[in-house]
């Protein structure tokens, strides 16, 4: 049995966001982190490894520096890593991305007792689309929004979150599960893990390595091949119609409440 | 049935809305999407169809979709469709889409819609744009939209004339809006968060006119790879942010003392007769549950008063509250982007200003 975990390196938007002149995010100036939901997926796989001794393979698509993140995941306890990286893959939308990742997972090989784990969504795009799209391409049953996972033999029970409650679902392996960060508390890298992580195998899948995969159609990957394209991008106008009040004391607050009262808002 | 080819764009016609039901009741997001879909269908001069999957859904509920603009309702009935399963719903929907070929397909971005949409798009071989905040087909209307929502010099910019669905959403980490198209494949698919689109008034005549077509469902238990063991509703009452008259939201600014910050915001909300909202950072930190979140990935609200306490105002947050009637922002950073959309701004410490504001409001209310 093995767990294949899909992870994405994302800009850390919790701190200061660097912006280029054209309004786009300047990723090169921002620290990167492993996407939170994806870390929960890694932890779920490592817990399964603790319990069953299964192999954990971490897979990421991104530019070469994403190797650093994969080494960290190896230091947490993953057994091997695959980095999907190539110019041809750049600019892919979710359809193209999931097709490429599905091709890579197919190349790694999905056995009958395997589980593919993903994060529910990445904080830079928030689409939550790539996980289900990988599942469809691999013809695997999927469960998204997993907040609890129990594995017994080839049967997996998942607590799937709804807006106002949850569903308990049962699915057989092989399957794909997308995890929410509430699932667990990811472990830290261990000191021996950090020493070992550079000895563990890390393979690079570039375009050459994947182009003959049956799941990949070279015409529908990358910026050109992606089904969706940007028609226009724009910055919202600065409204600036508002009124900044002087000070921040009782007089200020009374002034504000006076205005609201005058407008019959309270 | 002819071979389905998503690249044969000319073969696709009509606007469809997936009308999600839970426990036999149509969810309100369906009415919002039908109202929006009606405009698109009018601009294109095509039919608007609602699609319902379920088991023994009441005829009245199906007819009512016509009251929100549907010319036709496709109803797929099977005991296997009573509750949502990815496999069952994807198969039945994709079979119907491959047969009838709609050019636009809108899905509500509920937890289930966000599971269904990508699975269908991948099967149909087409694009899907998540969490759209604005939709257009007509370029002239799109330009009008840009005039009030962008810094583009619309009259001196070239626009490619086409009737592709123009799907607008915040992008690139939230400092830019992007309008996405899916020019080479059909259907053009888009998910929209609940509360983003406005429901049009119910039209009796439309409901009477609408045609409900029952679709023969080809679905076997063996098609469904996931078994539902139990569905449980939370005992806790969900916050009704979308229907709220007043929303008091907190952001990262409460991090100094989250417990105190939440308590004082709740006090202010109580004084104003409102509910407690928050930015994504607060949910990420675990201080409040996700049903309180306002923004692109949370809820979109249009209250009479929106108070933003210690919220910097990322574009994703603004996307969820900027249409509020009166926005009051308190932030210690004078450069916080939230002030750009605020009706009234106070630069100061929320831990000091908020309790004073609560007292002042209580005093005014008591004097009435």
Q: Decide the pairing of beta strands B21-22 and B25-26.
A: antiparallel
Tell me the nearest-neighbour CA distance from B86 into chain A, angstroms: 7
- Tokens standing for residue B172: 């690139």
Residue ranges of domains in chain B, CATH in brackets: 9-223 (3.40.50.620), 246-366 (3.40.50.1220)
Look at A19 and B231 and tell me if their CB atoms are within 8 Å. no
Which residues contact residue B182 at a Cβ distance below 8 angstroms, ignoring those fewer than 6 apart?
Answer: A227, A228, A229, B126, B127, B129, B164, B165, B167, B188, B189
| pLDDT digits 0-9 by tens, A131-171 | 999 999 999 999 999 999 999 999 999 999 998 899 999 99
**Span A50-59, average pLDDT:** 97
**pLDDT band at A239, cuts 50/70/90?**
low
Look at A232 and B117 and tell me if their CB atoms are within 8 Å. no
- Tokens standing for residue B219: 């679905």
Residue indicated by tokens 């607590």: A159
Identity of the residue in A17, A142, A266 whose CB atom sits nearest the CB atom of B86: A142
CB B121 within 8 A of CB A134: no
Task: Tell me how far apart the alpha carbons of residues B71 and B362 are, in angstroms, rounded to a whole number.
Answer: 50
Residue indicated by tokens 């209250």: B303
Look at B231 and A136 and tell me if their CB atoms are within 8 Å. no
Average pLDDT, chain A: 92
Look at A266 and B146 and tell me if their CB atoms are within 8 Å. no
**pLDDT band at A21, cuts 50/70/90?**
low
Task: Tell me how far apart the alpha carbons of residues A194 and A190 are, in angstroms, rounded to a whole number.
Answer: 6
Instruction: Please report the pLDDT score of residue B248 as a whole number.
Output: 97
Instruction: Please report the pLDDT score of residue B206 as a whole number.
Output: 94
How many beta carbons lie within 10 A of that of residue B225, not counting itself? 19
- Closest Cα in chain B to A236: B150
**Span B91-118, average pLDDT:** 97
- Closest Cα in chain B to A135: B119
Q: Which of B291, B282, B289 is nearest to B310 (CA)?
A: B282
Task: Tell me how far apart the alpha carbons of residues A160 and A53 are, in angstroms, rounded to a whole number.
Answer: 25
Whether residue B80 is predicted with pLDDT greater than 80 in this model: the reply is yes
H helical segments located in chain B: 28-44, 59-64, 86-100, 113-124, 139-149, 204-209, 258-272, 280-284, 315-318, 350-366
Beta strands (DSSP E) in A35-127 are 55-61, 80-84, 115-119
Q: Looking at this predicted complex, what is its ipTM?
A: 0.90
Enumerate the residues of chain A whose CB falls inside 8 A of the CB of residue B226. Answer: 141-143, 169-171
Enumerate the residues of chain A whose CB falls inside 8 A of the CB of residue B228. Answer: 167-169
Average pLDDT, chain B: 94
Enumerate the residues of chain A whose CB falls inside 8 A of the CB of residue B326. Answer: 260, 263, 265
Note the CATH architecture for domain A2-225.
3-Layer(aba) Sandwich (3.40)
Identity of the residue in B111, B176, B363 whose CB atom sits nearest the CB atom of A162: B111
Which residues contact residue A240 at a Cβ distance below 8 angstroms, ignoring those fewer than 6 apart?
Answer: B340
Residue indicated by tokens 């509250």: B321
Which residues contact residue B133 at a Cβ distance below 8 angstroms, ignoring those fewer than 6 apart?
Answer: B168, B169, B170, B192, B193, B196, B296, B300, B319
Tell me the nearest-neighbour CA distance from A256 into chain B, angstroms: 8
Instruction: Please report the pLDDT score of residue B38 as a whole number.
Output: 98
Burial class (CB in 10 A: 0-12, 13-18, 19+), B171: buried
Identity of the residue in A98, A167, A243 whose CB atom sits nearest the CB atom of B122: A98
């Amino acid at each position: 049995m093995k767990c294949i975990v899909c992870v994405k390196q994302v800009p850390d938007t919790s701190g200061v966001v660097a912006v280029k002149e054209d309004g786009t995010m300047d990723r090169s100036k921002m620290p990167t982190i492993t996407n939170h939901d994806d870390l929960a997926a890694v932890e779920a796989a490592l817990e399964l490894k603790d319990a069953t001794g299964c192999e954990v393979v971490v897979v990421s698509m991104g530019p070469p520096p994403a190797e650093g993140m994969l080494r960290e995941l190896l230091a947490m306890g993953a057994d091997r890593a695959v980095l999907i990286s190539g110019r041809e893959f750049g600019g892919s939308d979710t359809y193209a991305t999931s097709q490429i990742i599905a091709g890579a997972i197919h190349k790694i090989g999905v056995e009958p007792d395997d589980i593919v784990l993903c994060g529910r969504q990445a904080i830079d795009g928030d689409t939550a689309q790539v996980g289900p799209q990988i599942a469809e391409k691999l013809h695997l049953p999927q469960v998204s929004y997993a907040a609890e996972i129990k594995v017994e033999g080839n049967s997996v029970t998942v607590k799937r979150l709804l807006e106002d409650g949850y569903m308990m679902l049962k699915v057989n392996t092989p399957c794909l599960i997308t995890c929410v960060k509430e699932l667990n508390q990811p472990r830290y890298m261990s000191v021996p893990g950090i020493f070992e992580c550079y000895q563990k195998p890390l393979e690079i899948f570039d375009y050459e390595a994947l182009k003959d995969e049956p799941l990949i159609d070279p015409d529908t990957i990358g910026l050109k091949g992606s089904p969706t394209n940007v028609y226009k991008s724009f910055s919202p106008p600065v409204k600036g119609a508002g009124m900044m009040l002087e000070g921040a004391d009782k007089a200020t607050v009374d002034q504000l409440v006076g205005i609201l009262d005058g407008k019959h808002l309270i | 049935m002819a071979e389905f080819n998503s690249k044969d764009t000319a073969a696709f016609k009509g606007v469809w809305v997936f009308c999600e039901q839970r426990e036999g009741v149509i969810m309100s997001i369906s009415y919002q999407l039908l109202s929006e879909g009606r405009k698109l269908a009018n601009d294109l001069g095509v039919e608007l169809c609602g699609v319902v999957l379920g088991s023994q859904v009441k005829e009245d509920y199906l007819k009512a979709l016509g009251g929100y603009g549907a010319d036709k309702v496709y109803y797929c009935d099977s005991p296997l469709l009573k509750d949502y399963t990815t496999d069952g719903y994807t198969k039945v929907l994709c079979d119907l889409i491959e047969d009838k070929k709609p050019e636009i397909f809108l899905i509500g971005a509920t937890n289930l819609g966000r599971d269904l949409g990508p699975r269908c798009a991948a099967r149909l071989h087409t694009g899907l744009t998540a969490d759209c905040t604005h939709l257009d087909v007509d370029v002239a209307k799109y330009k009008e939209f840009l005039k009030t929502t962008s810094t583009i010099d619309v009259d001196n910019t070239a626009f490619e004339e086409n009737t592709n669905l123009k799907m607008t959403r915040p992008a690139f980490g939230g400092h830019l809006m992007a309008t996405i198209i899916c020019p080479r494949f059909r259907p053009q698919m888009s998910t929209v968060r609940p509360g983003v689109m406005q429901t049009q008034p119910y039209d009796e005549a439309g409901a009477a006119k609408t045609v409900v077509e029952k679709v023969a469902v080809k679905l076997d238990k063996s098609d469904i790879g996931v078994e539902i063991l139990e569905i449980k509703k939370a005992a806790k009452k969900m916050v009704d942010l979308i229907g709220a008259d007043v929303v008091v939201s907190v952001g990262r600014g409460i991090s100094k003392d989250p417990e105190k910050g939440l308590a004082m915001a709740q006090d202010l909300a109580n004084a104003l007769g409102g509910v407690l909202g928050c930015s994504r950072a607060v949910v990420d930190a675990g201080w409040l549950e996700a049903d309180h979140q306002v923004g692109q990935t949370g809820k979109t609200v249009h209250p009479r008063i929106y108070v933003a306490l210690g919220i910097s105002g990322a574009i994703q947050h603004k996307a969820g509250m900027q249409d509020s009637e009166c926005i009051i922002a308190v932030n210690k950073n004078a450069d916080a982007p939230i002030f750009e959309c605020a009706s009234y701004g106070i630069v100061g410490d929320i831990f000091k200003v908020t309790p004073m504001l609560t007292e002042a409001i209580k005093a005014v209310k008591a004097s009435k």
